[in-house]
């Protein structure tokens, strides 16, 4: 990108991680591996594997501060006041309730949290942090991003979920990815949960092998794919038992996953089943089957950035 180019028009893409950057992608994905992993109801076991306690994983703060991405003011200017052109929702960085800055350093990482506002009313929140990723390149980690409007709120507008499904997540990620890459961020990782589990699956993330306890990256990715497919299959079965999907739909999903020669990516799983519709678990809005199953699970992903 040249110096005279418009920074608002830059394009950021995901690129495949090479063997020199992270371990190679997964190889064969035998069908007997797909549904032999822990029961989807074993939430404690799954969470223990997918969410290691990384609060005390101290990164080299001095190394991060020496990069443009380590400047708290850069992130404040990038995020605070952002308004989504599609929904009108605005992002605001509030002061913290403790003595730490927001954005500010804690345990060697640069943390920040922001509110999502609708006409000044907080209806959701965003959590981000910046650390030093593979090969010393800054890494932006996306935490939870949820719009928390619920149908039991008082006003008629609160019961209108069109404000929470209008593309805010996509627009915000376009905004942040572009500017993060220009600031030298080399990696983006995510803990995708709730509605974000489907929204982030469309952003070309691969499974993050660092978030699994298997020492081999290829096996870690394969198992993360299998575990997510298992939990989605379980959710599809629940939809079928409730009469919200044909009984054949879960079987077709299982057969599709078992037929693959390589593990499906989060994007592959989320796009399955566009011929079927099922209700979103929070909003009741009909969405395609893969999306309806994915918003009920969570997963860990990573991708590299380039301008």
User: Which pLDDT tens digit goes with each residue over 211-251?
Assistant: 888 887 888 888 999 999 999 999 999 999 999 999 999 99
Please say whether the beta carbons of 266 and 226 come within 8 A.
no
b or e along 75-113 (b: 16 or more beta carbons within 10 Å of the residue's beta carbon)? bbebbbebebeebebbbebeeeeeeeebbebeebbbbbb
Length of the chain counted residue by residue: 307
Please state the pTM of the whole predicted model.
Answer: 0.75
| pLDDT confidence of residue 87 | 86
The yes-or-no verdict on residue 147 having pLDDT over 80 is no
| pLDDT confidence of residue 30 | 35
Residue among 272, 98, 274, 66 at smallest CA distance from 184 = 66
| pLDDT confidence of residue 59 | 61
* Beta pairing, strands 138-147 & 187-193: parallel
Of 133 and 294, the one with more pLDDT: 294
CA distances from 158 to 115, 118, 150, 151, 154 (A): 17, 11, 7, 6, 7
**Pairwise CA distance, residues 262 & 183, whole Å:** 34
**Pairwise CA distance, residues 283 & 165, whole Å:** 9
Q: What is the pLDDT of residues 34-92, one digit of tens each?
A: 333 333 333 334 334 433 333 334 467 888 898 999 999 999 999 999 999 988 999 99
Mean pLDDT lowest for which of 53-62, 70-79, 138-147, 291-300? 53-62
- Mean pLDDT, the chain, rounded, equals 76
CA distances from 109 to 21, 139, 184, 185, 193 (A): 21, 10, 16, 14, 22
């Amino acid at each position: 990108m040249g110096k005279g180019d418009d920074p608002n028009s830059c394009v950021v893409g995901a690129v495949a991680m090479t063997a020199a950057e992270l371990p190679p992608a997964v190889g064969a994905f035998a069908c007997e591996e797909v549904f032999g992993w822990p029961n989807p109801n074993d939430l404690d076991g799954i969470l223990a594997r997918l969410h290691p306690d990384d609060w005390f994983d101290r990164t080299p703060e001095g190394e991060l501060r020496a990069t443009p991405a380590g400047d708290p003011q850069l992130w404040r200017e990038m995020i605070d006041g952002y308004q989504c052109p599609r929904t009108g929702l605005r992002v605001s960085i509030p002061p913290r309730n403790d003595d730490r800055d927001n954005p500010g350093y804690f345990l060697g990482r640069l943390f920040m949290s922001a509110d999502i506002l609708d006409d000044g009313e907080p209806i959701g929140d965003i959590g981000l942090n910046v650390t030093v990723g593979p090969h010393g390149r800054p890494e932006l980690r996306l935490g939870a991003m949820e719009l928390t409007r619920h149908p039991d709120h008082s006003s008629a507008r609160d019961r209108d979920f069109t404000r929470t499904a209008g593309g805010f997540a996509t627009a915000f990620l376009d905004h942040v990815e572009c500017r993060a890459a220009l600031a030298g961020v080399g990696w983006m990782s995510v803990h995708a949960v709730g509605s974000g589990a489907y929204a982030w699956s469309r952003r070309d993330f691969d499974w993050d092998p660092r978030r699994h306890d298997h020492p081999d990256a290829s096996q870690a990715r394969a198992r993360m794919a299998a575990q997510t497919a298992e939990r989605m299959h379980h959710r599809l079965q629940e939809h079928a038992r409730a009469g919200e999907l044909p009984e054949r739909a879960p079987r077709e999903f299982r057969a599709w996953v078992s037929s693959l020669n390589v593990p499906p990516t989060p994007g592959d799983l989320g796009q399955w089943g566009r011929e079927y519709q099922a209700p979103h678990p929070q909003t009741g809005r009909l969405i395609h089957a893969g999306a309806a199953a994915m918003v009920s699970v969570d997963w860990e992903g990573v991708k590299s950035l380039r301008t």
